[in-house]
A = this chain, B = another copy of it.
Amino acid sequence: MLGKSITNLMQALKQLPAIGPKSAQRMALCLLLEHNHTTAKKIITNLTSAVNNVRQCSCCQMLTEDAVCVICNDPRRDSRCICIVSSPADCIAIEESSIYKGKYFILTANLSPIDGIGPEELGIDNLLIQIENNCVSEIILATSTTPEGEATAYYLSEQLKKYKLNISRLAQGIPRGGELEYIDSDTLAHALDTRKQFI
């Protein structure tokens, strides 16, 4: 019963991350009500401008409006340490914790053979160039603890072995402030297994 314009818009919105057919329909119908046309136009203008102006940093592959991003350009950041993450959002999450003072490298994707994403799709050429040129001594593998993230971390550690770097992975266990009864059993089992000496 909806026309071609609305159906096409719903199809396009459905490709956004975590948006299913019902949410895409809700967004499309909401944007097309006359009193929401300003919002729709704002999205068109800002998305057009962002697609034209934003690129990936030539060093770390973070999204930026310049050739090199603010972190890579910051002389106070320690370029001997690189934290490898799977997406720009993961890089922002670590930055928000305000503890890390090294540099980053953002992968194009996680390994996922089921989706046809093999080692070539990780986009690590720039990473290898940086390790060779910048006296890098430490690598933090901060990919997710999903099967894809774990496989990616393992693959990278194998690839980087020859450079004789200090390679670490983020600690895994019970989240800080977490109530034990609400922690899933896989996490609990792992936390028990890798428990640390207290005193």
Binding site for B on A (CB under 8 A): 1-6, 8-9, 11-13, 15-19, 23, 25-35, 37, 39-51, 53-56, 63-66, 69-71, 87-89, 92, 95, 108
Contact = CB atoms under 8 A, between A and B. Distances in A.
A44 B47 contact: yes
Q: Count this chain's copies in the assembly.
A: 2
A135 to B, nearest CB: 25
Given A1-B70, A3-B53, A17-B30, A12 B63 contact: no
A67 B78 CA distance: 63
Secondary structure type dominating chain A contacts: helix
B13 A63 contact: no
Contact of A9 (B26, B28, B29, B46): B46
Given A16-B31, A88-B29, A47 B53 contact: no
Given A25-B89, A33-B63, A108-B35, A42 B6 contact: no
Contacts of A46: 5, 8-9, 11-12
Nearest to A29: B88
Given A6-B65, A9-B43, 5 more contacts: A1-B69, A3-B65, A28-B50, A32-B63, A33-B108
A18 B63 CA distance: 25
